[in-house]
């Protein structure tokens, strides 16, 4: 239940921030959330990763559908003819991994400060 709460809280905070702040503010938000709410190390990484992965994946997918010439096709050709869906997965993985490490760092910082 705590994991679902963390995912929803992170999504509610990060999704609106992603429209007007740089991409790395998602990591800062995950750091702060995991620092304050004290999840375990796996929960901190996994919830941050899953939330930002889904946000970035769907934002890339939706924004790609609004272009006249889908950018995912152009990027796929630049990266060695990979499929547009692979571009979305890669985008989500980059955002998720960054956020997962930020959440894990928030957990570790909390433990370090508590000592």
What digits encode the pLDDT tens for the residues 97-110? 999 999 999 999 99
Packing angle, helices 41-65 and 71-78, rounded to 10: 110
Give the model's pLDDT for residue 65: 82
Mean pLDDT calculated for residue range 38-54:
91
72 versus 94: which is more confidently predicted? 94
Helix axis angle, 2-17 to 41-65, nearest 10°: 40
**pLDDT for the residue numbered 102:** 94
This prediction's pTM? 0.87
Q: Which domain holds residue 69?
A: 2-114
User: What is the structure's pLDDT at 97?
Assistant: 95
**What are the CA-CA distances from residue 30 to residues 70, 73, 87, 93, 96 (Å)?**
30, 31, 24, 15, 10
Q: Which residues have a Cβ under 8 Å from the Cβ of 14 and sit 6 or more positions away?
A: 25, 26, 29, 30, 51, 52, 55, 99
Total domains, the chain? 1
């Amino acid at each position: 239940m705590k994991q679902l709460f963390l995912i929803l809280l992170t999504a509610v905070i990060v999704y609106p921030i992603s429209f007007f702040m740089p991409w790395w503010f998602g990591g800062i938000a995950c750091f702060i959330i995991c620092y304050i709410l004290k999840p375990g190390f796996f929960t901190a990484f996994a919830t941050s990763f899953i939330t930002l992965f889904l946000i970035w994946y769907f934002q890339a997918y939706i924004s790609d559908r609004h272009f006249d010439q889908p950018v995912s096709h152009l990027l796929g050709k630049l990266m060695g003819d990979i499929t547009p869906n692979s571009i979305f997965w890669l985008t989500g993985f980059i955002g998720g991994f960054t956020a997962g490490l930020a959440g894990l760092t928030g957990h570790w910082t909390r433990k370090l400060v508590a000592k």
